[in-house]
Amino acid sequence: MSILKINNVTMQFGGVTAVNNLNIEVQEGKIEALIGPNGAGKTTAFNVITGVYSPTKGNVYYKDENITGITPDKITKKGIARTFQNIRLFKNLTVFDNILIANHLRINSNFVSSTLRMPWSNKEERLMREKSEMLLDKLDLLRLKNEIAHSLPYGEQRKLEIARALATDADLLLLDEPAAGMNPSETMELSSFIHNIRDEFKLTIFMIEHHMDLVMEISEKIYVLDFGQLIAEGTANEVKNDQRVIEAYLGVEEDA
Amino acid sequence: MMDKLNDKKSKLFLNLLLIAVFAAILILLDTKTIGDAYVRRILNLSAIYAIVSVSMNLVNGFTGLFSLGQAGFMAIGAYTVAIFTVPLEARAKIFYIIPQNPVLAQIELPFVIALILGGLLAALVAVLIGMPVLRLKSDYLAIATLGFSEIIRIVFTNIKSITNGALGIKNIPIMPTMWVFFGVAIISIGLMWLLINSSYGRAFKAIREDEVAAEAMGINLFKHKVMSFSIGAFFAGIGGGLLATLFATVDPNQFYFPVTYNFLLIIVLGGMGSISGTIIASFVVTIGLEILRFFDEPLALFGVNIPLFRPGLRMVVFSILLMVLVLFFRNGLLGQKELSWKLVFDWLSGKKPIKKTDEGGAA
């Protein structure tokens, strides 16, 4: 069953077509990847899914519900969470605060009862804290609970950003280049981390990635984008042997 | 040293001691045992400035919205208190050129109710102003809010049947005790502290840190910005109401936009994002501005008149201080930290706080 359906989506900026007639169906419970050379429109596609941009044409469906043109915060409430290409943590806040903030979207207390520390708000806050601690514990980040986010090593910051996305109770996780800037050993660690969270939290993961090793290893389906156009889709092997993909992308990558 | 600091009991003792000393000083001042009317007035003013500055810090320092409309919201609170608390029999004398609006002329409210009403009206106006204006960012927002504050002042100058125009409103009943000012300050700042340390406060900080990420984490930016902006306006209105009763008179020029710069100086000095820093800075700046008054008076050294010392020099010095502050002490007294005994002891023992690494160092 498809959890996310991108239906004939076109995104134009002035005269530039960043994404052209894109069709993608992400299957529930899978790890799928979107690859393509720089400027292919991958992040634009992500921004259309998460509501940062409203597409020029076409629709996006999440769990069969049309979410086209809805604001990012509402889309996150529906269960799609994302990370960013250049890490966007709440840098000057603690690891714990970063996670707690991601819980705020499900809050029931209004600001008056929260401020006045009414019993039901206190209970909600306590549950929020317990839930966040459990999440940090599961992801082996609890030891960093009180650290300031920007003081963490790079790899941990990436991990925290994923943890923060998970804290929104997402079912679909969009990772924008999770391995960017990582060394090979960190990348391998990330690969098993992504696998683990998918199984543990019963997630669907859709990611943009440049590290071919990582993509080929963990993705069950790969979409290849070039100049805003989908040029291939399939398993790692299918994509690897596709003549258009080799021309557009992989050939160049292997030379490097 | 460390074991002493970690001892919860000794911290509690120090806190209680501090509260006791504070209360004792206030009682002595209030019963006129120490100090004079001038000192009491300056301290009351400091308490008011503390409320308004913390409210401004809530918006600027904690939510990251560069808003300069504080003077306008204060004006709303001040005029509400002025209009509704002046005794009915005194009104005709005050509104002697253009009579007061016949409906308003019959309403007199107790001070507390007028004060809260003033806050609520300021918040209401903030919601109305905020809806279009909070879509703007940084400097654009600052300009728009500054403009709003001027509009309020000009409107108040011109709706003479309500505000008595440029003549202002006199004979506002004054409060007999400092506890009114300090009590309201403690309650207001306490409420803002509770808000900032709630889930909503964390959401505000998230918006300050990174709007895009905050929105991606499901925080409704617009709703939370309007919330912070109008709560800030509410407490600025409360501060304005207190100002009206402290001075016993209001007129539009009290709320000329440079007033907001005082609060800006205070929150920058105290630390954008620090409540305790803001409170300390409110007292330092308010008292400091009084001390700086000698710059405005003619000064003769050895019989020679120093030509520089004339009315207005105080503001020159004030501006220079602001520039020095921004150039060399951008984090202010406390930055985003709050005052704690550990911080005090570390400072007293000359121990440097652990320095934060510079931004982006990890990349």
In a domain, B252, yes or no: yes
Does residue B198 belong to the interface with chain A, where contact is any CB pair within 8 Å?
yes
Distance CA A13, CA A71 (A): 19
pLDDT of residue B320: 85
Which three-class secondary structure state does DSSP give residue B209?
helix
Cβ distance A84 to B216 less than 8 Å, yes or no, reads yes
Query: Stretch B241-257: mean pLDDT, rounded?
Result: 92
Does residue B354 belong to the interface with chain A, where contact is any CB pair within 8 Å?
no
Q: How far is CA A4 from CA A32, A47, A79, A238, in A?
A: 11, 14, 11, 22
Q: Of A136-145, B89-98, B165-174, B290-299, where does the model show the most confidence? A: A136-145
In a domain, B84, yes or no: yes
In a domain, B347, yes or no: no
Supply B124's token pair.
């209401």
Mutate to test the interface with A, among B58, B198, B205, B357 (most CBs of A within 10 A): B198
Window from B242-246, B270-274, B335-339 with minimum mean pLDDT = B335-339
In a domain, B354, yes or no: no
Domains and CATH numbers, chain A: 1-79+171-256 (3.40.50.300), 89-169 (no CATH)
In a domain, B53, yes or no: yes
Task: Give the bridge partners for A34, in sequence order.
Answer: A208, A223
Which residue in the set B191, B220, B360 is minimally distant from A115, CB to CB? B191
Cβ distance A115 to B200 less than 8 Å, yes or no, reads yes
Beta-carbon count within 10 A of A213 CB: 13
Query: How confident is chain A (256 residues) per 10-residue block, as mean pLDDT?
Result: 91 90 93 89 92 93 92 94 93 95 94 94 95 93 93 91 94 92 86 92 92 86 90 87 77 48
Q: Angle between the B199-209 and A95-103 helix axes, to the nearest 10 degrees? A: 110
CA distance B31 to chain A (A): 33
Residues of B with Cβ-Cβ distance to A101 under 8 angstroms: 202-203, 205-206, 214, 217, 219
Distance CA B159, CA B154 (A): 9
pLDDT of residue B3: 52
Which residue in the set A107, A121, A168 is minimally distant from B217, CB to CB? A168
Cβ distance B216 to A81 less than 8 Å, yes or no, reads yes
Nearest to B196 by CA among B273, B84, B87, B254: B273
CA distance B190 to chain A (A): 10
Q: Angle between the B313-328 and B258-270 helix axes, to the nearest 10 degrees? A: 40
Q: Which amino acid is at A155?
A: G
pLDDT of residue A252: 52
Residues of B with Cβ-Cβ distance to A81 under 8 angstroms: 216-217
Nearest to A236 by CA among A207, A209, A215, A205: A215
Distance CA B240, CA B55 (A): 12
Supply B110's token pair.
């107790």
In a domain, B179, yes or no: yes
In a domain, B332, yes or no: no
pLDDT of residue A10: 93
Residues of B with Cβ-Cβ distance to A154 under 8 angstroms: 362-363
Does residue B220 belong to the interface with chain A, where contact is any CB pair within 8 Å?
yes
> How many Cβ pairs closer than 8 A exist between chain A and B?
116
Domain that holds residue B89: 28-256
List, in sequence order, every beta strand (DSSP E) within A161-254.
172-176, 204-208, 221-226, 229-234
Question: Total structural domains in chain B?
Answer: 1
